[in-house]
Structure 1
Amino acid sequence: MALGATLIKVLNKKYALSQMVEQKFKGYDLAFKTDEEGNAILLFIGQKDETGNVRGERYARRIVKDKEGVLVKDHWDFKGKAT
């Protein structure tokens, strides 16, 4: 599953700092970890199993800023199956 524009829009919002956030999105269960600035950096998307873990796919976000803090690079990489 490729990350679509509407999902990217949800992930680009600011959330609680250094937390694991769980939500529903178009029939999928999302679980994502945030960094110290509230940006989503690790995403699990799929269906929750009986233990509460999301089974599906895993993505990691790469955020690169220059010395002045200006955003240089921001993209999501597919990291494989989430089991």
Structure 2
Amino acid sequence: MALKEPILKLLRKKYDPLSLVELTFQRYDLMFKTDEEGRPILLFMGKKDANGNIRGERYARRLKFDKEGRLIKDHWDQKGKATP
């Protein structure tokens, strides 16, 4: 499942650096880790189980910068199931 624009809009925001953020968006529970600049880089999307783990899909963000530090590429790759 590819990420849709409403979820991408949430993921473009900056959050606390090096933290784990939990949100609820429509029918999904979201949990993501941020990098040292506060950008989400690892996303777990699905439903939270009784143990607090997300059962659903896992995504990783690919960021590519040029030599001056400008962002060239920014996209999310689906990496499989979040919790087996």
Structure 1 length normalisation: TM-score?
A: 0.97
Give the gaps of 5 or more residues in structure 1: none
- For 1:42, the equivalent position in structure 2 comes to 42
Cα RMSD after superposing both structures: 0.6
Name the CA distance, whole Å, in 2 between partners of 1:71 and 1:27: 31
Q: CA deviation at 1:4?
A: 0.3
Q: How many residues align?
A: 83
Structure 2 equivalent of residue 21 of structure 1? 21
Cα distance in 1 for residues equivalent to 2:7 and 2:28: 11
How far the C-alpha of 1:67 sits from its partner, in A, is: 1.2
Query: Could you list the runs of 5+ residues in structure 2 that have no partner in the other structure?
Result: none
Residue of structure 1 in register with 2:4 after alignment: 4
Runs (4 or more) in structure 1 with deviation over 4 Å come to: none
* Structure 2 Cα separation of the partners of residues 20 and 54 of structure 1: 13
Q: Secondary structure at the match of 2:6?
A: helix
Q: CA deviation at 1:52?
A: 0.3
SS of the equivalent of 1:14 reads: coil
For 1:21, give the aligned amino acid. V
Give 2:62's aligned residue: 62
Aligned-pair identity in percent equals 64
Matched with 2:80 is 80
Query: Structure 1: which amino acid aligns with 2:60?
Result: A
Cα shift at 1:27: 1.2
